[in-house]
């Protein structure tokens, strides 16, 4: 019986998806089932995936029209045959020992409902930004404690199904909603070793719709409180469905926030690079006053 199924969604990932898949093929101690949902990519992603899976019996590709990350994950998790499901994002890299260490830790801790690991973050050009090294163990029934990264998580398939899985109402923040329900069932363990490398990309949902993501995250906290009090979640779920609808200004606002965030990470270590990102933030949103102020500060320091 398959022990671990890795579920990944990809959209227009031709430049990075092969490296991600290779990091999963070279895992130590097990050979996971790899399920990749191609979410209507318009570049060469579909061809790359099909070619990769052609000679690899452990890799399955599911092609669908562009329906978004949540729909892709629902479909991928439903297809998983493993006792455990591990997430992975396209463009990210799993260290060779990630899956076996997470699997062994979950098996040794039957009261835990999910496990994640410390994560290293870099920009799309591979420049180091920061690491997230959280506390080791988070008990059940606390406020939502997010893993360092969505892609760094593993959980039991039975727990996922019992919790209700990813929910279609959450076009964004689908991970927070699932974590809150899994944490109602058991603790969350986070391995302190950096076993996952995440690429912070301006095209991601979090980057391009950050303000909507925050609204939905706040509503997710409300849902958690209602559920734990034994009250209906439906009114808030309906509100989340409305909030999650596309805001035509969101991509440009989100792109500006992305560049502002990257610049803040690099301001001391690589000031010239930070200045470039502040300039890009201003171009994306000329009303981004904080980016303008930071850009002028760096400009004055270099003169």
Write out the E strands in the chain: 4-10, 33-39, 59-64, 84-87, 93-94, 112-123, 128-132, 137-138, 154-156, 187-200
Whether residue 113 contacts residue 40, with contact meaning beta carbons closer than 8 Å, is answered with no
State how far the Cα of 202 lies from the Cα of 243, in Å rounded to an integer: 21
SS3 label, residue 190: strand
Count of residues for the chain? 303
Domain ranges of the chain: 4-201, 250-301
User: pTM score > 0.75 for this model?
Assistant: yes
One CATH from 3.10.350.10, 3.10.450.40, 3.90.550.10, 1.20.140.10 for 4-201:
3.90.550.10
State how far the Cα of 299 lies from the Cα of 303, in Å rounded to an integer: 7
State how far the Cα of 112 lies from the Cα of 188, in Å rounded to an integer: 6
Nearest CA to 176 among 136, 142, 135, 218? 218
Residue 205 is predicted with a pLDDT of 43
Residue 272 is predicted with a pLDDT of 93
Residue with tokens 């923040």: 173
Residue 37 is predicted with a pLDDT of 98
Residue 299 is predicted with a pLDDT of 85
Question: pLDDT (tens digit, 0 to 9) for every residue of the chain, 303 residues total?
Answer: 579 999 999 999 999 999 999 999 999 999 999 999 999 999 999 999 999 999 899 999 999 999 999 999 999 999 999 999 999 999 999 999 999 999 999 999 999 999 999 999 998 888 999 999 876 555 554 445 678 999 999 999 999 999 999 999 998 889 999 999 999 999 899 999 999 999 987 765 455 566 777 888 888 889 989 998 999 999 999 999 888 765 555 566 678 888 999 999 999 999 999 999 999 999 999 999 999 999 999 888 765
State how far the Cα of 149 lies from the Cα of 160, in Å rounded to an integer: 18
* 274 contact partners, CB below 8 Å, separation of at least 6: 262, 263, 264, 265, 266, 267, 294, 298
């Amino acid at each position: 019986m398959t022990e671990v199924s890795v579920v990944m969604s990809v959209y227009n990932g031709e430049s990075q998806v092969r490296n991600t898949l290779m990091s999963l093929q070279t895992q130590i101690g097990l050979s996971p089932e790899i399920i990749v949902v191609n979410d209507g990519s318009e570049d060469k992603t579909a061809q790359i995936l099909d070619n990769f899976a052609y000679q690899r019996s452990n890799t399955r590709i599911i092609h669908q029209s562009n329906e978004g990350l949540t729909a892709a994950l629902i479909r991928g998790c439903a297809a998983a045959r493993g006792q455990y499901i591990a997430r992975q994002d396209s463009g990210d890299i799993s260290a060779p020992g990630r899956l076996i260490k997470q699997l062994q830790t979950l098996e040794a801790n039957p009261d835990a409902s999910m496990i994640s690991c410390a994560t290293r973050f870099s920009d799309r050009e591979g420049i180091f930004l920061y690491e997230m090294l959280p506390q080791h163990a988070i008990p059940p029934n606390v406020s939502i404690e997010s893993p360092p990264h969505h892609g760094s998580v593993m959980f039991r398939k039975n727990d996922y199904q019992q919790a209700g899985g990813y929910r279609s109402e959450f076009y964004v923040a689908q991970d927070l909603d699932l974590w809150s329900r899994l944490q109602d069932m058991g603790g969350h363990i986070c391995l302190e070793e950096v076993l996952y490398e995440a690429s912070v990309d301006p095209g991601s949902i979090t980057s391009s719709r950050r303000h909507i993501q925050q609204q939905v995250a706040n509503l997710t906290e409300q849902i958690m409180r209602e559920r734990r009090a034994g009250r209906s979640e439906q009114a808030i779920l309906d509100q989340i469905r409305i909030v999650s609808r596309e805001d035509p200004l969101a991509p440009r606002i989100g792109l500006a926030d992305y560049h502002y965030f990257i610049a803040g990470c690099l301001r001391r270590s690589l000031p010239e690079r930070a200045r470039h990102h502040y300039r890009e933030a201003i171009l994306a949103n000329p009303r981004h006053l904080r980016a303008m102020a930071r850009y002028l500060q760096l400009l004055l320091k270099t003169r």
